[in-house]
Amino acid sequence: MRRFFRLVKNEYIKNLKLVSTWVMLILTAVAAIGLPALARIAYYFDAEASHGDTSDYDWTIADYLDSMMYSAEGTSDKYYIDIMNDLINSGAESTYDWRFSVTENLFYSAWDKADEQVYEEYTEYMATLPSWDEENYMLTDPEDAQKASDFLNGKMDETFKAVWKTDEYAKPMAAVMANDMKAYYQLNIDEANSRLSKANTEYDKQMADLDIWYYTYLRDNDVYKCTAEDYMYDFLKDYLPQYYDADYQNATELYNTRKAIIAYENADKGSPDQISVGEYKSAVNKYAVYNYMTENHIETNVADEERDTLWSPFKMSVALVTFIGILVVVIAAHSVASEFSNGTIKFLLINPVKRWKILVSKYFTVISMGYIMIALTFVLSLITSAIMFGAHDIGAMYITASGGEVSAVSGILYMAKSYLLASTSVVVMATMAFAISVLMKSSAFAIGISMFCLLSGSGIVLMLQSMGMNWARYLIFANLDLASIADGTSSFMYQTVGTALAVIAVHMVVFWLIAWDGFTRREI
Amino acid sequence: MENIKNEVAVSIKGLNKTIGKRHILHDISFDAYSGEVFGFLGPNGAGKTTTIKMIVGLLSIDSGEISVCGAEIKKDFEGALKNIGGIVENPEMYKHLTGYQNLEHYARMREGITKERIDEVVALVGLSNRINEKISKYSLGMRQRLGVAQSILHRPKALILDEPTNGLDPAGIKELRDILKKLAHEEGVCVIVSSHLMSEMELMCDRVGVIANGSMLGVYSINELLAASAGATSDYIIDTDGGKKAVEIIKGVTENVSLTDDGLVEVILDNNTHREDIAKINKLLIEGGAAVYTVSLKPKKKLEDVFIEMTSDTKEGGQIA
């Protein structure tokens, strides 16, 4: 073993004294550092584009009212402005304050309700006017129209006031004015409980149960009620964190997913709308994931496309493994062929070391250098990503579910696994380059063929597949992407990791036999 | 000189090699002993390098046996190669490494080579000042010296050098010759040197194996070859006006006399008595009334000519086999 490592040391020295090796190592490092840096720059400009100047988004309620140019002439506008001014006086400032959107929703809900109540009286009144055109449902005389409008406004005025004073609106508004979120949640729980007691169908019952769970969770965990649209969450996290709560986001996702599930499961028990089987299956998994996240109050799931965390660029960095593959192929091809082309093969083989040992030492060197470069990329990408996006959620988990079963692994571990899976093609292509360079004694040839295979192999497979050639699934290129085979997202149906590994093993054995036979029996 | 020469270091028996359709070596056999410089002599394409490559394990053996210090190469490759040092063809090294790094590379493939030994050998071949330069900056002669350093680094019992004087200047050739002779005669190494130059062999070797067209013509000691070239007779040319009469007179001394086309008389005399005989012939000619203008000794064959005679194949018209 000690003698073997002396051979490996020779190979390492030969490689590390080459300028080209250092160029490759530096390129790898630049790529590993550059990718997260680029992602940061892209995110910055993209954030600029989607949020604009942040002051454009950071509205106060007063600004909002001004900009809406409410005329204060229409009845609805008048009440709206009055209510909002009350809210401002009670201390609410930002439009991202929970009180603002709750108040707005309550107002519109009450207004609609009043409108509904007044509507019948209004149509009856219109029918009594002389210019009423029954057929076209309109008043032809402008005077009559003015009368009808005045009648409606007068009716709405009193009706809305009455509705606004009912418990349904007065109670939540009281909670809002007192800035008492818990009380607000409690009202929702009470409402759901009363619905539960009156529920006739299984569907209604489950929906009421869900509401009870949801508001109880929000109440018991002191969750801040975020009111922004989903796409604004990143903006809130970055600029107005006081109005953001990850628990709210997760619980709401869970709530909505659960709603869809209940609708599907009660398809014949009074459910209003349904989703497809596929959507149902993914909803079940999504539900399991969010259930895990809400229970454990997890903010970042590595499996999500969260652009503002270190995980986004770090996940992208897996693609660099293919780039490393190119470099390793070059090293592999050069390792044997250069000995022949420089004539140093005689210098190497004139020693009391069996040829296969020299071959193994070369192969070991090539593969280990590949893994060193992969590890270097892993570490540099992680560090740079953490510097660019903050290291606070470096301990985040990769949470997924399959068949409703949650699995959560450390994000770092998940990434290590991704890198290892991606390295399969590097090893296979390096082995191929190695075999070709032994066989042809030409590094150019070996680099050319292996590079072609590495870069266009999957394209060729896709082409063959689109031409209906199913046997292409047994080609090596169709079996290198172990990650997507494991996920079931590979180009051929029903590929399994087991068969992929078998195909890879067969190819590796063939490559090795070629290299072994070619090198140990070569006449020099 | 003969004191250490005792055991067989490299033994070759019935070696055959066919590459492609060409039968390159036919039943090559010879033994080289510890403590001698063995010359492996043959014209270009005779099979010298092929044989050497087989000894150092670069080529496979079709049939026959090669043993180095008792270890047969086919059965105990590592055991045999352990005792061999050598250069095959040009000394190719890693150009992007320094001379020293190349030697370290070599040392790591063998056992028990210390840093001190490397320094010692570097000094021996006169490269101490340039050893930390990259090989790409070396001249052919410097690379040849480094090749020798590498081949003797592990104190091999058999040292095999393929045309080691290539690219060396005359001083370098002499130094190398001295190093090799010292290794063989003082340290008991078996040194095998291939060459196509008899003159070089003559100065360096104790014995010479001659190979031509893939066959061994024989193994001779340098003394034997010198004697062969010297021959048993001396050839005199006599310029006289006597003509046939002179031939008659000389026949009284020796029968080996003839008249050339130019009218000169050629006499072949036994080496043991040629001085006395020629004096006697001269005296008889003058007494017989013939005028003697010159008596000259025809130049002897050189060792080189012996070699060319041995290895040239007139049927092939001088083409490389």
Q: How many domains does chain B have?
A: 2
Percentage of residues of chain A with pLDDT beyond 90: 28
Closest of A11, A7, A31, A6 to residue A21, by C-alpha:
A11
The winner for highest mean pLDDT among A130-144, A312-326, B293-307 is A312-326
User: Per-residue confidence at A214, pLDDT binned at 50, 70, 90?
Assistant: very high
DSSP-derived 3-state class of residue B271: coil
pLDDT of residue A73: 57
In this predicted structure, which of A22-36, A496-510, B124-138, B251-265 has the lowest mean pLDDT?
B251-265
pLDDT of residue B108: 93
Start-to-end C-alpha separation, chain A: 27
Contacts of A43 by beta carbon, 8 Å cutoff, 6+ apart: A307, A308, A312, A389
pLDDT, mean of residues A131-140: 78
Looking at the domain assignment, is residue A197 inside a domain?
A: no
Helices (H), ranges, A69-134? 75-89, 98-128
pLDDT of residue B318: 52
Does B122 touch chain A if contact means CB atoms closer than 8 Å? no
What's the Cα-to-Cα distance from A110 to each of A92, A100, A179, A190, A272, rounded to whole Å?
21, 15, 20, 19, 24
Q: Over 50: is that where the pLDDT of B3 sits? A: no
Contact A346 B92 (CB under 8 A): yes
Say yes or no: A507 and A448 in one domain.
yes
B interface mutation test: which of A335, A346, A354 has the most B CBs within 10 A?
A346
**With contact defined as beta carbons under 8 Å apart, do B294 and B239 qualify?**
yes
Which helix (H) or strand (E) segment holds residue A55: the answer is helix A54-57
Residue B68 sits in a domain whose CATH number is 3.40.50.300
Looking at the domain assignment, is residue B184 inside a domain?
A: yes
Say yes or no: A23 and A158 in one domain.
no
Contact B81 A9 (CB under 8 A): no
Percentage of residues of chain B with pLDDT beyond 70: 95
pLDDT of residue B4: 46
**With contact defined as beta carbons under 8 Å apart, do A389 and B98 qualify?**
no
Distance between CA atoms of A30 and A384, rounded to whole angstroms?
Answer: 11
Say yes or no: A30 and A136 in one domain.
no
What is the domain extent for residue B274? 232-297
User: Per-residue confidence at A209, pLDDT binned at 50, 70, 90?
Assistant: very high
Residue B250 sits in a domain whose CATH number is 3.30.70
- At A220-239, the pLDDT tens digits run 988 888 877 777 777 777 77
Distance between CA atoms of A184 and A154, rounded to whole angstroms?
Answer: 32
| Residues of B (31-90) whose Cβ lies below 8 Å from A | 53, 56-60, 77-82, 84, 86, 88-90
Does B140 touch chain A if contact means CB atoms closer than 8 Å? no
DSSP-derived 3-state class of residue B197: coil
Q: Over 80: is that where the pLDDT of A57 sits? A: no
Looking at the domain assignment, is residue A148 inside a domain?
A: yes
Closest of A417, A397, A416, A418 to residue A408, by C-alpha:
A397
| Residues of B (3-22) whose Cβ lies below 8 Å from A | 19
Domain end: A179, A205, A239, which one? Answer: A179
**With contact defined as beta carbons under 8 Å apart, do A289 and A230 qualify?**
no
What's the Cα-to-Cα distance from A176 to each of A16, A184, A229, rounded to whole Å?
70, 7, 20
Domain end: A159, A179, A199, which one? Answer: A179
ipTM for the complex shown: 0.81
A110 or B313: whose pLDDT is higher?
A: A110
Question: What pTM, to 2 d.p., does this model score?
Answer: 0.81
Say yes or no: A509 and A370 in one domain.
yes
Return the number of other C-beta atoms located less than 10 Å from residue A44's C-beta.
11
Residues in A lying within 8 Å of B, measured between beta carbons: 6-7, 9-10, 13-14, 17-19, 342-344, 346-354, 521, 523-524
Looking at the domain assignment, is residue B97 inside a domain?
A: no
pLDDT of residue A502: 92
- At A436-479, the pLDDT tens digits run 999 888 888 888 888 888 788 888 888 888 888 888 888 888 88
pLDDT of residue A70: 56
Closest of B41, B32, B19, B40 to residue B66, by C-alpha:
B32
Q: At what angle do helices A320-341 and A443-466 cross, to 10 degrees?
A: 140
- At A335-393, the pLDDT tens digits run 999 999 888 999 899 889 999 999 999 999 999 999 999 999 999 999 999 999 888 88
- At B85-110, the pLDDT tens digits run 999 888 889 999 999 999 999 999 99
Say yes or no: B212 and B239 in one domain.
no
What size, in residues, is chain B? 321
Residue B117, class by beta-carbon neighbours within 10 Å (0-12 exposed, 13-18 middle, 19+ buried)?
middle
Say yes or no: A513 and A379 in one domain.
yes
Nearest CA in chain B to A522: B59
Residue B3, class by beta-carbon neighbours within 10 Å (0-12 exposed, 13-18 middle, 19+ buried)?
exposed
Write down the mean pLDDT value for chain A.
Answer: 86
Looking at the domain assignment, is residue B109 inside a domain?
A: no
Contact A13 B58 (CB under 8 A): no
A53 or B152: whose pLDDT is higher?
A: B152
Looking at the domain assignment, is residue A444 inside a domain?
A: yes
- At A43-53, the pLDDT tens digits run 888 766 665 55
Q: Over 60: is that where the pLDDT of B315 sits? A: no
User: Per-residue confidence at B314, pLDDT binned at 50, 70, 90?
Assistant: very low
Distance between CA atoms of A128 and A134, rounded to whole angstroms?
Answer: 11
pLDDT of residue A241: 81
Looking at the domain assignment, is residue B192 inside a domain?
A: yes
Say yes or no: B244 and B293 in one domain.
yes
Closest of A71, A67, A64 to residue A85, by C-alpha:
A64
What is the domain extent for residue A392? 2-49+311-520
> Which pair of structure tokens corresponds to residue B171?
């001083």
- At A256-294, the pLDDT tens digits run 899 888 888 887 766 666 777 888 888 898 999 998 998
Q: At what angle do helices A75-89 and A61-68 cross, to 10 degrees?
A: 160
- At B181-227, the pLDDT tens digits run 988 998 889 999 998 888 888 888 899 998 888 888 888 888 887 77
Say yes or no: A461 and A357 in one domain.
yes
Say yes or no: B220 and B287 in one domain.
no
Closest of A283, A289, A253 to residue A265, by C-alpha:
A283
Contact A343 B92 (CB under 8 A): yes
A231 or B20: whose pLDDT is higher?
A: B20
Q: At what angle do helices A411-440 and A497-520 cross, to 10 degrees?
A: 30
pLDDT of residue B2: 46
- The beta-carbon neighbor of A349 closest among B58, B79, B150 is B58
Question: Measured on CA atoms in the order A177, A182, A188, A191, is the torsion positive or negative?
Answer: negative
Q: Over 60: is that where the pLDDT of A480 sits? A: yes
pLDDT of residue A48: 63
- Phi then psi for residue A157, to 5 deg, are -55, -55
Q: How many domains does chain A have?
A: 2
Say yes or no: B249 and B223 in one domain.
no
pLDDT of residue A270: 62
Contact B94 A342 (CB under 8 A): yes
Say yes or no: A99 and A158 in one domain.
yes
Looking at the domain assignment, is residue B128 inside a domain?
A: no
Looking at the domain assignment, is residue A21 inside a domain?
A: yes
- At A170-208, the pLDDT tens digits run 898 888 888 888 999 999 999 999 989 988 888 888 899
- Phi then psi for residue B64, to 5 deg, are 105, 180
Say yes or no: A22 and A67 in one domain.
no
Say yes or no: A17 and A84 in one domain.
no
Contacts of A436 by beta carbon, 8 Å cutoff, 6+ apart: A333, A445, A446, A449, A450
